[in-house]
Amino acid sequence: MKSDVLLANQKSWNQAASRFYGRNPLPEYGPLAPKEDELNLLGDVAGRKVLEIGCGSGHSLLYMDQRQAAELWGLDLSSAQIESATKLLANCQAPVHLFESPMEHDPGLPHGYFDLVYSIFALGWTVDLHQTLSQVHRYLKPGGVFVFSWEHPLHNRFTQQEGNLVLTKSYLEEGAYKHEAWPETAIMQQFRVSTYLNACIQSGFVIEQVVEDVSLSDEDIEKHAKGWYNAEKAAAVPTTLIIKCRKAQA
């Protein structure tokens, strides 16, 4: 059941929160992926009301504050993450509103209010993609922008074996799975690129940009030399999918 998965994921994130503190926040969209400095998907956020889905330790919201966003809003499933974000953002210039909540649920956020909603490497944790996207659509003003990133659907379909990449699971298979690099019991969701795109369209969004590029700078290669994501694999299979879409004008 979805509620059981949410509880398991909440427990896992409360246990793992310190290990992921400040990992890959904006301007990063994901490991070995182009950064916001290069992509400029968010535009000028000064004076904008922003909401982060899966705000984690709050470092991406801090990035927004440093760029003069008018209001900082965030939600996260994990109480440990919300506690960390509350401490990190205590001295922000902009007012901060944080909610402990699954992304599928509306914890009382204003509708038709936000200029920008974003989610950095978090959307694959949803237990209901369509419900999550529908919530985001409700939160945004007409013309508002939604940008999200997640592990590219092809990445965990391939494994490295004796210097070769081997397809070990069908790309066409979708649904819940336990990530082999995740030590705690936690359930993520596998979707094809087309599923993400179609779900956005069905929720009322207009797709503006899709990014599957890889960044293999010396800094990126060194940072991820021994991790789940590495340059050798990323040279053939992208690590990160980034999608920018917009709520249509009324």
Neighbours of 177 (CB within 10 A): 14
* Band (226; pLDDT cuts 50, 70, 90): low
* Band (224; pLDDT cuts 50, 70, 90): low
**What token pair was written down for 115?**
């200029």
Question: Residue ranges of the domains in the chain?
Answer: 2-247
Residue 194 pLDDT greater than 90, yes or no:
yes
CA distances from 224 to 30, 33, 230 (A): 11, 11, 5
The pair phi, psi for residue 97, each rounded to 5°, is -130, 115
In this predicted structure, what is the pLDDT of residue 161? 87
Contact call for residues 104 and 132 (beta carbons, < 8 A): yes
CA distances from 189 to 20, 84, 112, 113, 182 (A): 19, 25, 28, 29, 13
pLDDT in tens, 170-181: 999 999 988 766
**What token pair was written down for 127?**
């237990």
* Band (222; pLDDT cuts 50, 70, 90): confident
| Dist. CA 37–CA 43, nearest whole Å | 10
Average pLDDT over residues 193-221: 92
What superfamily would CATH give domain 2-247? Answer: Vaccinia Virus protein VP39 (3.40.50.150)
Residue 185 pLDDT greater than 90, yes or no:
no
